[in-house]
Chain A
Amino acid sequence: MFSLEQQEIFDRYKHPQFAGSFEDADLIAEGINQSCGDEVKIFLKLDDKKITKARHICRACAICTASTDFLLEKLEGESIEVIDTISVEEITERVGIPLSPIRLKCALLPLEALKNTIKA
């Protein structure tokens, strides 16, 4: 039997709430996990520093897809500066299931992609 947390992850995997893309994105972040082939693409629309719209296209496992969806849910309406303050613990807490080192990479891929793009 799936735990409630597992159910939520698979629910977000099958029915992501922030899936999609749009053309006039102000920031596009891409992340690839070489070891397992997960691919994440995140689109952000900004009004000054405020994230007004966030969407993603994930070709990835459930943990990576759900983690991306959770992250965008948190980011919409926030300042882009929030991204740099999000910790690993915040991500793992939201994902809610124990993560082995290899699965932790799946969960962190969207945050790392965003942080790397902002830095660059």
Chain B
Amino acid sequence: MRNLRADFPIFTNQPSLVYLDTAATSQKPQVVIDAVSRFYTTSNANIHRGLYPLSAQATEQYEQARQTVASFIGAKSAREIIFTRGATEGLNLLAQILGSTLKSGQNIILSDLEHHSNLIPWQQIVQKYSVELRFLESDQEGNLHLENFQTLLDQNTAIVSLTHCSNVMGTVTPIALFKKMMQEQGSDAILIVDASQSVPHFSVSVQELDCDFLVFSGHKLYGPSGTGVLWGREELLAKLPPYQTGGDMVKTATLTSATWNDLPWKFEAGTPNIEGVIGLAAAINYIQEVGLAEISEHTQKLHTYAWNKLSEVPQITLLGKPDPTSGIISFTANLHPHDLAGLLGEKNICIRAGHHCAAPLHEKLGVVASNRISIGAYTTQEDIDAFLTALVEITKEVANV
């Protein structure tokens, strides 16, 4: 793969930056920044409303972006793509609209690996509709097992919502196998996939996963903040009630009633993040031009390198056994994660510290917090080396105090 450094202006403007927090948010290539800027400077108008050419142009770009996303994840139709503010909004949307269809006594299966965004929205539903939350426990390496899933799944399971790739453990869930088991057990539960950490790293097809809904954020995929995607099977989306209501999501409206617009607009109330969505499409085009397979290979190579080197640092405890494609390595050291991240930060080396919005998982792991490095398409071996050198120096110093 060619060196992508020059495509990302942050590295020109911050020459000493070592950015290893891509799982929190990715840096943006110039093509994405340009796409956003170009929209404002050449095509800005509201969409789906204006009868003048400028609005038609804006609408066309916005809907073209939907088509780009649909092709990217293998959706059957662009009607199945709903734009959101991010994975969090996608999961809140699902919890609210699916929650309203639940019956008392039904259950929802999540895993203990979930990011708070795939946990808290369901906790709210449980309180409201008298349903039960069940948790699929991960093993020490951070993997989820079918045998354990089988014991949780029953005829009252209405929803299964799982991470595709853990943002802490970096493990990948074999979603298609889970779906197969659901079918074998005669379960008609809805399967939701949080693909926030998988879509930036390897090819994800909703047909291959065989899930019912899938969400991800644009900002982790080299796209603008405040963008996200909810994909759902058209037949399910068609029969579900809307999420937010207001402009653009109605077909007809009187003072006392309204009818809903067609898919996907039924789920997109109000003026959306038009320039962000256009920027997201530019990001997808960019990674496809670079090649997702090449990005995967690059990530795996650097991950393996970093993992092997970190294994040799005596003051480091690695957490779990991540899939190298995830680009994620979490660990603890001989100092508090915040202190380590703070000291590395003084050298302009950016790594994550905390519970990474997965507090229950950290409690299970028996640590208050952890550190995490995460690799993106632009990460270089020099980044990893700079991090390792500083890490060894700091942990040695602490050990000697």
Residues of chain A contacted by B66 (CB below 8 angstroms): none
Known: A10-B397, A10-B401, A14-B401. A36 touches B339 (CB 8 A): no
Whole-angstrom CA separation of A36 from B336 in the bound complex: 11
- Judge if A75 is at the interface, Cβ distance under 8 Å: no
Whole-angstrom CA separation of A64 from B255 in the bound complex: 58
Interface of B is mostly: helix
Interface residues of A in 85-108 (CB under 8 A from B): 100, 103, 106
Residues of chain A contacted by B134 (CB below 8 angstroms): none
Whole-angstrom CA separation of A85 from B289 in the bound complex: 62
Judging by beta carbons under 8 Å apart, are A62 and B369 in contact? no
**Which single residue of chain A is at the shortest CB-CB distance from B338?**
A61
Q: Which of B337, B338, B368, B401 contacts A106 (CB 8 A)?
A: B338
Whole-angstrom CA separation of A35 from B13 in the bound complex: 30
Judging by beta carbons under 8 Å apart, are B336 and A62 in contact? yes
Interface of A is mostly: helix
Chain A nearest CB, measured from B298 CB (Å):
32
- Judge if B354 is at the interface, Cβ distance under 8 Å: yes
Judging by beta carbons under 8 Å apart, are A61 and B336 in contact? yes
Judging by beta carbons under 8 Å apart, are B339 and A61 in contact? yes
Whole-angstrom CA separation of A97 from B311 in the bound complex: 31
Judging by beta carbons under 8 Å apart, are A37 and B342 in contact? no
Residues of chain B contacted by A1 (CB below 8 angstroms): 393, 397
Chain A nearest CB, measured from B64 CB (Å):
41
Known: A61-B339, A103-B342. A37 touches B369 (CB 8 A): yes
Interface residues of A in 1-18 (CB under 8 A from B): 1-2, 6-7, 10-11, 13-14
The interface of chain A, by Cβ under 8 A from chain B, is 1-2, 6-7, 10-11, 13-14, 36-37, 59-63, 100, 103, 106
The interface of chain B, by Cβ under 8 A from chain A, is 335-339, 342-343, 345, 354-355, 368-369, 393, 397-398, 401
